[in-house]
Amino acid sequence: MSSSPPLNPFQLDPAGIEERAREIRKKIVHMNSAAGQGHTGADLSEADILATLFFRVLRFHPDNPTDPERDRFILSKGHGVGGFYCTLAEAGILVPALLDTYLKFDSSLPGHPVRQKTPFVEINTGALGHGLSVGVGLALSARLSGRRFRVYVLLGDGELQEGSNWEAAMSAAHFKLGNIVAIVDRNTLQLADRTESIMALEPLSAKWEGFGFEVASADGNDPADLVRVIESFDTAGTKPHVLLASTVKGKGVSFMEGQAAWHHKIPVGDQLRQAIEELE
Amino acid sequence: MTAQAATRDMREAIVEELIRSSEGGVPVVVLVSDSTTTSAISPFRARYPDRLVNVGIAEQNLLGIAAGLSLGGFISVTANAACFLVARSCEQLKNDICYSATDVKLLGLNAGVAYGPLGSTHHAIDDISIMRGMGTIRIFAPADAIEAAQTLRHALHTPGPVYIRLDNVPLPVFHGPRYEFVPGRIDVAAEGTDVIVFALGSLVPEALLAREWAAATGVSVSVVNMSSIRPIDAESVARQAALSGRVVTVEEHSLHGGIGSLVAETLAERGLSVRMARLGIPEGEFAKAGPRAEIRQYYGIDARGIQRAVLRIAGREG
């Protein structure tokens, strides 16, 4: 019943993806600074992953956000929405001026993704531990309807402390869903401190393996490495996949890198100038 | 209704409707959380084995997967015990289903104190209250098998989240074959002039029985089946209540946020002054555990209890 899936509209090489990621980061810093709020550290941490997905991996038509054959992307770590919006703007899906409305009253760009408001938002996230289950349902729907789309779910690492992720992981393996790819933004920091001091996740790779996933690791801030690993996954197979992407929270801005305090801090004044200089 | 009315388990009618709609081309997927017997789903499974998804004992995952399947073009119908549906997976209910407005139909099985002796872990006396806080979800509580099938048929043919509160015992079928469930329209099950009883689900037959007994003592009772809780026919509720000015509500639910609350709010907002008794599990309490009939008797929500309340409100007690 399915027609051919679309292609990625950009198909950039790693150097091209890096360039886009740099533009996304600049947008993030400007947007959050103007809004006076936002999860800057998380947005910057995930920028290379988002750029790799939207400018290389995901198959979709930018002008057809409801194409039933499109690959699905779910931002389970919904607080990283700033990076997501800026990626959509960089891809030409959102008008850049719309970023000025981020977090404003009844904006189409609220502080967590809302599918009724923003194209290519598949599900309303923000509460953690929801995206993988929804992804499993989508992946199952593809099999039941004979479609070939893949489902990519971006998870925060702190998010993995929510038990519902492991219900979802168990079911992805049980249902033999090779068409689902979980990507963990492993920046090792959560809101208050390091994940390992709050509630340890390690050995994380062994956990996912135990739950029946194919596990791979990559430098989550290096598009070449991300492309290499993501494209190695057999999404027509019967085993779900997880990429543990080592990232640096606040990546690209020296004074934010690796600082939990920048989880939802905003650069102002000299900080903003320095951040933009470093990203140029 | 009479004591001789035929009885039927709502779940049979629900499963028949799932099969009928599937045969008619509705892309139904039924999801259970190890609740295949609770939902009496085996006839559907026999017919559509690929369309039954069992997620195991994982109610949060149940709703997330249901949302995902609906985003992939299916109509998801979840079937598990109401107590776990509303409590264990409350956040998925809120975000994945209601806030995201996914096409998921939720069957709340064994609602109220249907699990009687199993205690408050298994009672769902808060489901309507919780659902009323969940955005735009439609909330139905059918009172017999005929109506149960119709609420589901309506849900399967209109987009968006729906909650259907169900019972698990054979109940008198008091609707005729030509009955038509209309969301947002009250169902006057029996007319009367002295007192009006607004009843919920499986207590509608109890209210009808109480009505017969009250008639024997010269009190004429009207019984309204409150099967459409959202949308609610507020104007008709107010109009019916105003006819006698004497109102009883009865529900196997907490008095917090159930139909008693809803009727009281509706009347108060219209400035209607009535004599009113709300029967249910008192606010601020869990229900006692024990045989269901005895729980109903204890809280005065069985036919005898309804009759007592009716006579009291009618000024005919003692």
- The ipTM assigned to this model is 0.97
Q: What percent of chain B has pLDDT over 70?
A: 98
The predicted structure's pLDDT at residue B1: 47
Number of domains in chain A: 1
In a domain, A6, yes or no: no
Listed by start position, the domains of chain B span 7-172, 187-313
Contact B66 A123 (CB under 8 A): no
Contact A134 B65 (CB under 8 A): yes
Closest CB to A137: pick one of B68, B94, B101. Answer: B68
In a domain, A8, yes or no: no
A–B interface: beta-carbon pairs under 8 A: 107
Average pLDDT over residues A1-6: 66
Host domain of residue A143: 14-279
Task: Please give the helix or strand (H or E) that residue B198 lies within, else none.
Answer: strand B195-199
Number of helical (H) and strand (E) elements in chain A, helices listed first: 10, 5
Contact B64 A132 (CB under 8 A): yes
The predicted structure's pLDDT at residue A265: 86
Measured between beta carbons, which residues in chain B are less than 8 angstroms from residue A147? 72
Query: Which of B94, B100, B104 is most worth mutating to test chain A (most A CB atoms within 10 A of its CB)?
Result: B100
Task: Please give the helix or strand (H or E) that residue A49 lies within, else none.
Answer: helix A47-52
Q: How far apart are CA B204 and CA B197, in angstroms?
A: 9
In a domain, A4, yes or no: no
Nearest-CA distance B77 → chain A (Å):
13
Measured between beta carbons, which residues in chain A are less than 8 angstroms from residue B100? 115, 123-124
Model pLDDT for residues B274-294, shown as the tens digit of each residue: 999 999 999 999 999 999 999
CA-atom Rg of chain B in angstroms: 19
Contact A138 B71 (CB under 8 A): yes
| Res. A261 pLDDT band, cuts 50 70 90 | confident
Cα distances (Å, whole numbers) of residue B294 to B110, B211, B298, B318: 17, 21, 6, 23
Model pLDDT for residues B122-175, shown as the tens digit of each residue: 999 999 999 999 999 999 999 999 999 999 999 999 999 999 999 999 999 999
> Hunting for tokens 């490495």 — which residue is that?
A225
pLDDT of A243 > 60? The answer is: yes
In a domain, A220, yes or no: yes
Q: Of 3.40.50.970, 3.30.360.10, 3.90.1150.10, 3.50.50.60, which CATH number belongs to B7-172? A: 3.40.50.970
Model pLDDT for residues A106-115, shown as the tens digit of each residue: 999 999 999 9
In a domain, A58, yes or no: yes
> Among all residues of chain B, which has the CA nearest to that of A148?
B72
Contact B53 A68 (CB under 8 A): no
Q: Of 3.30.470.20, 3.40.50.920, 2.40.30.10, 3.40.50.2000, which CATH number belongs to B187-313? A: 3.40.50.920
In a domain, A103, yes or no: yes
Give backbone dihedrals phi and psi of B7, rounded to 5 degrees, phi first: -115, 155
Tell me if domain B7-172 and domain B187-313 are identical in fold.
yes
Question: Is A130 part of the contact surface with chain B (CB cutoff 8 Å)?
Answer: yes
